[in-house]
Structure 1
């Protein structure tokens, strides 16, 4: 074996050792250039690396050329598929311009190929001594295969790393999604759920600004319940006016840029969405629309990929179930509280009836009734008043010193309380009910007013009007607003004590006449 062949084999073995290891792509290009010069003993040589749609000169040896670019033509793009080997002098005109061949005195080109893509090339004017032989062409082909295999293996490894990272990210996202869905489904407090859903969508999507709104089917408005900006503590409260739609759209994720027509069909005005910096709208819906989520651009400065969109769709479906469950639970709890409240009222009413049935005098009856209202329902100011022929005279009271005081009603109030209870929830409006201002001053402040008539035997006069009531139970101040069932109870109390008062008065009249 000649010395030249021995040297060449040694270089090839070194090249095999180098190119079967893993290096950065830029280092592989450098190695390829160095080994090509050593293996082929080139005279002048240059290394080009592809940047977008052109090949850029990176290194030269013995050439006095700088800042040179070769446009990547359609023929060069197809070179890896239809040629795929070093290009000799007689083939250069097929792929390269006359200008390039002349500038570099090109005699031989080694393409650098990654799979089916041309990523660079080495050009030379020939050997430093002698002409390219058959052995040189074989060595050049072997060298090119080594480099291209190394480039391809390197790309496969980078692709594997990228896929592995993507899988790790997806596994982590699925784990976070699973835990988040568990937390959402276990939360039955609607207000806490709003905040939790906002945070979960923000974390899963990576959105910089996230908002969460609930749909009101009566007003067709989305009321913002949650807002999160990861770069500030700023809070935003807004409403989105939606159009009345017959059926929910089949879409869950709506893009502000790509689905502008659909947004126009759903919203009366999209200016609030711009204020929320929305890029995507997530509809929380199945059989009906419950709410929506807005997502801004990603805080990682990346686009939302298909995997992230799938996670968001899954999260939207789970959020619908969680919201639906929480709303049903809240409704059941409200019904339970109302039922318990009504039961308490009925129990109180039952005790009151047993108590008043044991009363022997009207004074005792009125006093016990007032005390029951005071202790059982938080009534702090109330009184009974009865007709003395000219006005109504206070008979029993609590919360104010009104013993013996008389009053008359304003005409519009007196006409409305002949036989039905009258109530007004507004505070400090006694002067609209009572004609005497001094009586209002003695009553003092009020939280509202309830006037329950005590009508003995409603009889109509010749004008068809009911005779004025025998008396009234009037409540003007309570610890809390009276509920509907409590107002009904006051009316029921007056109707139940009416016959007792009537019989007690009849008994007193009879005893007085007998004496």
Structure 2
């Protein structure tokens, strides 16, 4: 075998091994980006080039994406019409000095000796240049071998491009299927929703999901004010909507157009809205009218989150959904009206039932204290009253029972409370409404005042009512129905209150046995002395009742163990500090019944 044949055989074996490596590399599942980076680097290394660079098409220009062993002076090449003809007219690897598709200046400055096109379906996606200062430099590949490598690389690039397009098409198709499925499901949800507030939010969520709008709003027309009021606004940038309403010039909508571009259809919008420029406050790009022949509302969408313009398919999809929204809103409005009427009837029925329950509880009371407690609890639980006072008696002689105030609070009725027309029902709304009539030391601002006199027609000839229900902690806005129930309740408990009040006085202040009862209680205490009971204290106060009247002193009503005889009011205190000493003339701790007798006889 000759030396030439031996060299040819060695070269052939070397090419065969490298070709197998190239096939193994470029038949992998690669992306375009991987071919432009790793594929280019692999080709550079296996071809044993000293310096090279790859230029990739980006925005109508070929940009140097990577370079090895060189620093190109020209980093880009214009995508000229001549360069675009390279794949069509020739499509082969070009060698110096026949690189006629690239600009001479580019070839000269970069010392281009080989130019390899990267082609996908007659489109030049990129090209590789091999540079050398030696124009006679011998490269390891023959022209045929270089063409084979170029075809292998372009085949891999074509497959990567097709896979990318297929993947993009699949994603787009999946997105369309998802959008259509989502639109169908959401349309069913919209048509099924009957709650207006939830329907507003649902409409915004549906439209935003389909359009990826940065700002979405929903408005409803109010014919009483001739304004379109914004019921919902949602911004991806968490902006706040400052435009709450838009004046409407006409609620009669002519024509079939229901989609309006905020800028391009400005003239049309001016026929509907008095101030269409305020729609910009909603960051709106498109407005969809909810209308048949009569205006009902609108939907707006802003720019898409992707920054792209909305296509016709998306706009038609939203228009189709708005037709369903129109029907859903109409249904929800009708249902809301019916529901409101049902609630009003149910509320009236519940008010009657509540009043009956209240009276049933009151009628079952056995004493005045139970009546007061049930009355105050009824106000608290039945009407959500936070603070209330039961006033029993007149200005000169009265008792106060409270509910909802701190135990340490000091409460008394001011002179203005007694100097007003005490037979009138009072209702005042506002934070300072109660301060002119009631003093409370809790330091809180009370949000209103209700004064309901406890009186009936039977007591009409009396100078004063027998008591009052005073409410200072209202549960917010109070309707006329609640006021009427409270007033009726106060009037209804009047005869019961009077009866129990008189019963308590009669039972508690029978003069024929007060001294005997007092003696029995004292002697009973000393008879149990061995049980180590705490010492009791006896408080006394001189007081003379008027002739032919029953004694009705407040102390006799306030303390359960109180007695009146021989012009003395006596109160037994069994637990220390439970009796207010300031209300009495004095007190003492007895050690026997005889000691009690001696002490009382010596009181001046």
- TM-score for the superposition, normalised by structure 1: 0.58
Q: Decide which structure has the larger Cα Rg and report it.
A: 2
What aligned pairs does 1:76-95 form with structure 2 within 5 A after superposition?
Answer: 76-89=83-96, 91-93=98-100, 95=101
1:387: which partner in 2?
none
Measure, in 1, the Cα distance between the counterparts of 2:89 and 2:254.
Answer: 54
1:96: which partner in 2?
102
Q: Which 10-residue stretch deviates more, 314-323 or 26-35?
A: 26-35
Where 2:142 maps in the other structure, the secondary structure is helix
**Displacement, 1:216?**
4.2
Whether the 8 Å CA contact 2:213–2:304 is kept in 1: the answer is: yes
1:34-90 CA-to-partner distances (Å, cap 9, x unmatched) read: 454466555653322233233233444554535532222121123333332223446
Measure, in 1, the Cα distance between the counterparts of 2:235 and 2:113.
Answer: 62
Q: Alignment partner for residue 46 of structure 1, among 44, 53, 65?
A: 53
**Displacement, 1:264?**
3.4
**Displacement, 1:319?**
0.7
Q: Alignment partner for residue 179 of structure 1, among 179, 185, 197?
A: 185
Where 1:118 maps in the other structure, the secondary structure is strand
Number of residue pairs aligned between Structure 1 and Structure 2: 354
Measure, in 2, the Cα distance between the counterparts of 1:41 and 1:479.
Answer: 97
Measure, in 2, the Cα distance between the counterparts of 1:64 and 1:301.
Answer: 37
CA distance 1:32–1:130, shift in 2 (3 Å):
farther
Measure, in 2, the Cα distance between the counterparts of 1:445 and 1:61.
Answer: 95
CA distance 1:76–1:200, shift in 2 (3 Å):
same
Over aligned residues, Cα RMSD in angstroms?
4.0
Measure, in 2, the Cα distance between the counterparts of 1:203 and 1:313.
Answer: 14
2:18: which partner in 1?
11
Measure, in 1, the Cα distance between the counterparts of 2:246 and 2:201.
Answer: 19
**Structure 1, gaps ≥5 residues long:** 345-439, 448-476, 483-515
What aligned pairs does 1:62-461 form with structure 2 within 5 A after superposition?
Answer: 62-63=69-70, 65-66=72-73, 68-89=75-96, 91-93=98-100, 95-125=101-131, 136-216=142-222, 220-232=226-238, 234=240, 238-244=244-250, 247-299=253-305, 303-330=309-336
Where 1:142 maps in the other structure, the secondary structure is helix
Where 2:290 maps in the other structure, the secondary structure is strand
Measure, in 2, the Cα distance between the counterparts of 1:217 and 1:83.
Answer: 73
**Displacement, 1:139?**
2.0
**Displacement, 1:29?**
2.4
CA distance 1:232–1:102, shift in 2 (3 Å):
closer
Measure, in 2, the Cα distance between the counterparts of 1:64 and 1:188.
Answer: 70
CA distance 1:29–1:237, shift in 2 (3 Å):
closer
CA distance 1:226–1:11, shift in 2 (3 Å):
same
CA distance 1:183–1:77, shift in 2 (3 Å):
same
Whether the 8 Å CA contact 2:49–2:139 is kept in 1: the answer is: no
CA distance 1:88–1:299, shift in 2 (3 Å):
closer
Where 2:330 maps in the other structure, the secondary structure is helix
**Displacement, 1:22?**
1.8
1:256-295 CA-to-partner distances (Å, cap 9, x unmatched) read: 2443343334322123212212122122234443210122
Measure, in 2, the Cα distance between the counterparts of 1:194 and 1:274.
Answer: 20
Whether the 8 Å CA contact 1:208–1:230 is kept in 2: the answer is: yes
**Displacement, 1:111?**
0.9
Where 1:243 maps in the other structure, the secondary structure is coil
2:400: which partner in 1?
none
Where 2:85 maps in the other structure, the secondary structure is helix
Whether the 8 Å CA contact 2:110–2:131 is kept in 1: the answer is: yes
1:310-346 CA-to-partner distances (Å, cap 9, x unmatched) read: 43223212111212223344566679999x99xx9xx
Measure, in 2, the Cα distance between the counterparts of 1:87 and 1:246.
Answer: 72
Whether the 8 Å CA contact 1:238–1:272 is kept in 2: the answer is: no
Measure, in 2, the Cα distance between the counterparts of 1:25 and 1:162.
Answer: 14
